[in-house]
Amino acid sequence: MKRITVFCGSGSGTDKIFEEIAYQLGVTLAKKEIGLVYGGASVGLMGAVANGVLDNGGEVIGILPEFLQKKELAHKGLTELIIVETMHERKKEMDEKCDGVITLPGGFGTMEEFFEMLTWAQLGLHKKPVALLNVNGFYDELLSFLGTMVKKGFLKEVNRKMLIPATTIEELLSKMEQYEAPEVGKWIKKDEV
């Protein structure tokens, strides 16, 4: 993989481990010569992952909507900062510039970005690995809920398996390297939900 998009919070959360792991992910990406594509902010987990890459000589591309430029405090030391008009343009750019996606802890915005990329994979719009770094059990309930979606008939097991969860950076990157997208049919039939 040449570049990975990372979705994560512009806040740091209540546990220091979130920021520590975000920074360590950045360090690991730089050491593996994998570029980072992310939301462009200097604060929270976003700033931590970018600093981890930058402090180790790696490439960082930030993509920030104009209206968030002041709120999220654009990172000044990036390889490239791209300013777009809308959140949709941000996600489109992040998708176009990456070979895979990692989601760290975050809030509504992080979840929205993550689920859109996962939905695009489900629909066959891309074949990139979409992964969750489950830091300190942050995503345990979400992963459990995805099982409920399968049991209740709203999600196919093959699509649930498109998501790559892991608890360590090395495990996550290894799974992403090995990922093969399932064949997605053109039509969804009622009995195939």
pLDDT in tens, 67-114: 877 665 888 999 999 999 999 999 999 999 999 999 999 999 999 999
The CATH number given to whatever domain includes residue 134 is 3.40.50.450
H-helix or E-strand spanning residue 24: helix 16-31
Order of strands across the sheet that contains 130-133: 80-84, 60-65, 35-38, 3-7, 101-103, 130-133, 163-166
Provide the mean pLDDT of the chain: 93
Q: What are the residues facing 61 on neighbouring strands?
A: 37, 80
Q: Residue 94: what pLDDT?
A: 95
Of residues 193 and 115, the one with the higher pLDDT is 115
Q: Rounded to whole angstroms, how far apart are CA atoms 145 and 93?
A: 29
Cβ neighbours of 24 (radius 10 Å) = 16
Residue 132: inside a domain: yes
Q: Residue 70: what pLDDT?
A: 64
Tokens of 117: 């990329």
Tokens of 162: 């498109």
pLDDT band for position 185 (cuts 50, 70, 90): low
Average pLDDT score over residue span 169-189: 83
Residue 51: inside a domain: yes
Q: Rounded to whole angstroms, how far apart are CA atoms 8 and 23?
A: 12
* Domain limits for position 65: 3-177
Residue 133: inside a domain: yes
Residue 191: inside a domain: no
Q: How many domains does the chain have?
A: 1
Residue 185: inside a domain: no
